[in-house]
Amino acid sequence: GAYLTVNPQIQYDTRDNAFDPTKGTYARVTASPSIGLNGGFVKLGASKSIYKPVGKKGNATFAFNVQGGTGFGGVPQFSQYR
């Protein structure tokens, strides 16, 4: 079926470069409520990435990412986290 969804999010970003970061943190929290003809559902998600320079010259970067999400209500198969 068809659903109407909004995707508000909150971000925290201290990366030195958005496309090729070498240091900093990026975190995001999202909520996606959806309403359709057959009911509605909500998806919540969060992710955090940390970037640290490594080596004496700092010419390499260690990147770590953790993320998770969950759904409430009758989340249809096409919209489930996998």
Residue 1 confidence (pLDDT) above 80: no
Look up the pTM and report it: 0.82
pLDDT in tens, 68-82: 999 998 888 888 776
CA of 59: how far to CAs of 18, 37, 50, 65, in Å? 17, 53, 16, 20
Q: Name 54's Cβ contacts closer than 8 Å, sequence gap at least 6.
A: 60, 61, 62
Average pLDDT value for the chain? 92
Residue 16 confidence (pLDDT) above 90: yes
pLDDT in tens, 24-43: 999 999 999 999 888 899 99
N-to-C CA span, the chain: 20
